[in-house]
Amino acid sequence: MSFRDRKIRVTPTPYFLMLVGITIAVFFAAFQYENNLSYLVLALMVSATTVSVVHTYRNLADIEVDAIPMPPVFVEDAALLKLDVYNHKGIAAYSLMFDLPGSRVLDKPMRLDHISPANNHILELKLDATHRGKHRITSLRVSSSFPFSLFRASFSQPIATEYFVYPKPESLRPWLESVEESTHGHQMAKTSGDDFYGWKSYHPGDSLHHVNWKAFARGHPLLVQEYAGNHTPLLWFDWEGLNEFEAETKLSQIAFWVIEAHQQGIPYGLRLPNSLVPPGTGNNHFHQCLRALALYS
């Protein structure tokens, strides 16, 4: 639906009801005392009310609002929604108010005081991001009570914007550099001229000769040596290697490791109960892993 086809509602405000009461009082005073000045004041009040309806509606007419795609954020950060507000009229628009039904906005009031004719303005709204996952913003409400606050014009617009909130990164275990110590839930591959390049979690069918029994005796999960010639180092972040932690704590720790591996340029993959992300690098892989953590249930 075009912005020109939408319906703008105009409703009275409490100030209008106050004005109605005053107008009735002035009318009875003018009628009883036959005071010409009172009739003049009454005419001005009625005229101002009529003009207010027209200008309040016109102030909100031909205003187009588009939502700019939102970047992902981590839990406890502020999600940033940018709105591109365009004024198609030949006159300026004033005192525009914005509301997101169903969303917690951190900065209130969300107000745009002025936008020039045939011009646009980028309005930034900070949203609360306390829960990981995929979040949607389905509608936006724009309103204005300019010029006299006697009436409020408003319209609702679907915007269908979504954004991801990733788990908050937390380092409960240090970034381990040696293969022997890398049995704590993540396996770091290293090469030194032979064919050994890392560890993986034990799966039925793996050779028992390659199991790290020494680490298993110390209480670590079963890990199996991997051999592949001249492979580059890689990491596997395994959910099962963090069984002593609760689910949200596991997600936070793995998110921290993903960020560390991404910054160091080391290939890494995820093994989660409901998904597996093969090892890789780059920004797309980075966000794929964090999205998998955000959507875990």
DSSP string, the chain: --TTTSPPEEEE-HHHHHHHHHHHHHHHHHHHHT-HHHHHHHHHHHHHHHHHHHHHHHHHTTEEEEEEPPPPEETTSEEEEEEEEEE-SSS-EEEEEEE-TTS-BSS-S-EEEEE-TTEEEEEEEEEE--S-EEEEEEEEEEEE-TTTSSEEEEEEEEEEEEEEEEPPP--SS----STTTTTSSEEE---SSSSEEEEEE--TTS-GGGB-HHHHHTTPPPEEEEE-SSPPP-EEEEGGGGTTS-HHHHHHHHHHHHHHHHHHT--EEEEETTEEEEEE-SHHHHHHHHHHHHT--
Residue 159 CA, chain-centre distance (Å), reads 13
Residues 6+ away with beta carbon under 8 Å from 106: 78, 126, 127, 128
pLDDT in tens, 191-222: 344 455 456 667 666 667 777 777 777 777 77
Window from 33-47, 80-94, 108-122 with minimum mean pLDDT: 33-47
CA-wise closest residue to 97 among 17, 158, 152: 152
Residues 6+ apart with CB under 8 A from 11: 151, 152, 154
The pTM (predicted TM-score) of the whole model is 0.72
The predicted structure's pLDDT at residue 207: 67
228, HSE (Cβ side, Cα atoms, 13 Å): 12
Alpha carbon distance 259, 90 (integer Å): 49
Of residues 17 and 193, more confidence is placed in: 17
pLDDT of residue 167: 97
Return the pLDDT at 200. 66
Structure tokens that stand for 118 in this block? 């045939």
Q: For position 41, what pLDDT does the model report? A: 87
Match 């381990």 to its residue by tokens. 176
- Could you read off the pLDDT of 103-143 as tens digits, one per residue? 777 776 689 999 999 999 999 999 989 999 999 998 999 99
For β-strands 151-166 and 73-74, DSSP reports them as parallel
Question: How high is the pLDDT of residue 194?
Answer: 46
| pLDDT for 293 | 97
Query: What pLDDT is recorded for position 192?
Result: 41
Give the residue from 141, 179, 133 showing the smallest Cα distance to 158. 141
Q: What is the crossing angle of helices 247-264 and 283-294, to 10°?
A: 180
pLDDT at position 174: 63
Residues 6+ apart with CB under 8 A from 27: 42
Size (the chain), residues:
297
* pLDDT band with cut points at 50, 70 and 90 for residue 276: very high
pLDDT of 214-253, one tens digit each? 777 777 777 776 655 444 567 889 898 888 889 999 999 9
Q: How many angstroms separate the CA atoms of 38 and 46, rounded?
A: 12
The closest of 89, 161, 159, 82 to 122, measured between CA atoms, is 82
pLDDT of res. 191 = 39
- Cross-strand partners of 114: 94
Q: Would you say residue 8 has pLDDT above 90?
A: yes
- For each of the domains in the chain, give its residue range(s) and CATH number, in order of start: 1-166 (2.60.40.10), 186-294 (no CATH)
pLDDT at 196: 53
pLDDT in tens, 137-187: 989 999 999 999 999 999 998 888 999 999 999 988 765 532 233 334 444
Residue 96 has pLDDT above 80, yes or no: yes
Handedness of CA 215, 218, 220, 222 (dihedral sign): positive
Average pLDDT along the chain: 84
